Amino acid sequence: MHRAETCHVRPWTAPQQRRPSLSIVYKGDLERGREWERFFAVHAPELQFRLWPDFGRAEEVSYFVTWQPPDDVSAVFPNLQVLFSSGAGVDQFDLNRVPSHVRIVRMIEPGIIDGMVEYATLATLLHHRNFIDYAERQRRREWSGMRVLPASSRHVGVMGLGMLGCAVLERLRTFGFALSGWNRSPRAIEGVACFAGEERFAEFLGGCDILLCLLPLTEKTRGILCGETFARLKRGAALVNIGRGGHLVEADLLEALASGQLSAAVLDVAATEPLPADHPFWGHPRIVVTPHVASMTQPRTAAKALLANIRRHQAGEPLVGTVDRSRGY
């Protein structure tokens, strides 16, 4: 039999794949990017997931995920629809440089919340159980204890009752602390005395032994952790700043520690990051510094959250974490 007789049917070829017209570009930590790339390849093969700077055709890019976008993001991606922050905040973005039709969305995912709850609990307990005093006593080889106060006798105040502030309060409640919260708009949280607005700020501060800042950094909240604020806390109160470095007036903290108005501070964020080598916070015996690690976007849970948001966008539904440009968060 001639070979030609058996081959009269054209071999089957796969139908031409339609080139996907939507792509997602990720700019940031390469290890996380590769993990997200694999996740999208499995769970959303119809979308092209690309890693900066190999983003292919710029006009096909609809979604951009990053911590630090290029200055003129719309010039780079002319058809951008959503700019996603890879972290919980957007204060690192210059919102004025993002065209008004581009939605700005921050990262809301369980990994960030869990990390922050752990850190805030640790820092609160560190103050409550006098660990900064004991670190000093250890350096002096001094074996002497302080009275252990019940958690119910400590008043803990949380500034910012958003996704993170509420989760932190929920955990702190399990220890039995007396709790207060302060927020822009009114909130009702079981077991927490809630205060809203600038007019009730002083009242909120008045009872606090330990103050936690979980606010977003905006023009209204910049410098809010200042001498005037510290003066309203109970004498010897302690601070935990897990918001942003711009919330704190650093010189005022040093002054409040020197005067004894504040007894100690745990700072995860700083006005200049990394904290300069000659900064007085490094060697201060009453300050614990960590390098902006209170919580981090977790690749696996964040990839799921990102894809769920992209699916919402494609279905014309509201996106979780949409930023209100007029408020700045």
Binding site for ligand NAP (CB under 6 A): 88-89, 112, 116, 160-165, 183-185, 214-218, 220-221, 242-244, 268-269, 292, 294-295, 329
Give the shortest CB-31-to-ligand NAP separation in angstroms: 18
Mention every residue, 6+ apart, whose C-beta is less than 8 A from residue 58.
Answer: 76, 77, 78
Q: Which is nearer to ligand NAP, 44 or 323 (CB)?
A: 323
Q: Which of 154, 244, 247, 313 is catalytic?
A: 244
Give the shortest CB-197-to-ligand NAP separation in angstroms: 7
User: Any idea what DSSP says for residue 30?
Assistant: H
Q: Which is nearer to ligand NAP, 6 or 326 (CB)?
A: 326
Mention every residue, 6+ apart, whose C-beta is less than 8 A from residue 137.
Answer: 143, 144
C-beta separation of 301 from 110 below 8 A: yes
Is 244 an annotated catalytic residue? yes
Q: Which of 128, 184, 292, 313 is catalytic?
A: 292
Give the shortest CB-120-to-ligand NAP separation in angstroms: 10
Is 279 an annotated catalytic residue? no
Give the shortest CB-322-to-ligand NAP separation in angstroms: 11
Q: What angle do CA 287, 293, 297 make, to 5 degrees?
A: 160
Place of tokens 């307990």: 125
Mention every residue, 6+ apart, whose C-beta is less than 8 A from residue 309.
Answer: 82, 84, 105, 319, 320, 321
Q: Rounded to whole angstroms, how far apart are CA atoms 148 and 159? A: 26
Query: What type of residue is 175?
Result: F
Question: Cβ-closest residue to ligand NAP?
Answer: 162
Give the shortest CB-210-to-ligand NAP separation in angstroms: 17
Sign of CA dihedral 37, 163, 288, 125: negative
Q: Which is nearer to ligand NAP, 137 or 171 (CB)?
A: 171
Structure tokens at 104: 């700005």
Q: Which is nearer to ligand NAP, 169 or 303 (CB)?
A: 169
Mention every residue, 6+ apart, whose C-beta is less than 8 A from residue 61.
Answer: 23, 24, 25, 50, 55, 77, 79, 80
Q: Which is nearer to ligand NAP, 44 or 211 (CB)?
A: 211
Produce one character per residue of 219-243: b if its CB has 16 or more CB atoms within 10 Å, e if not: eebbebbbeebbebbbeebbbbbbb
Q: Which is nearer to ligand NAP, 9 or 188 (CB)?
A: 188
Active site residues: 244, 292
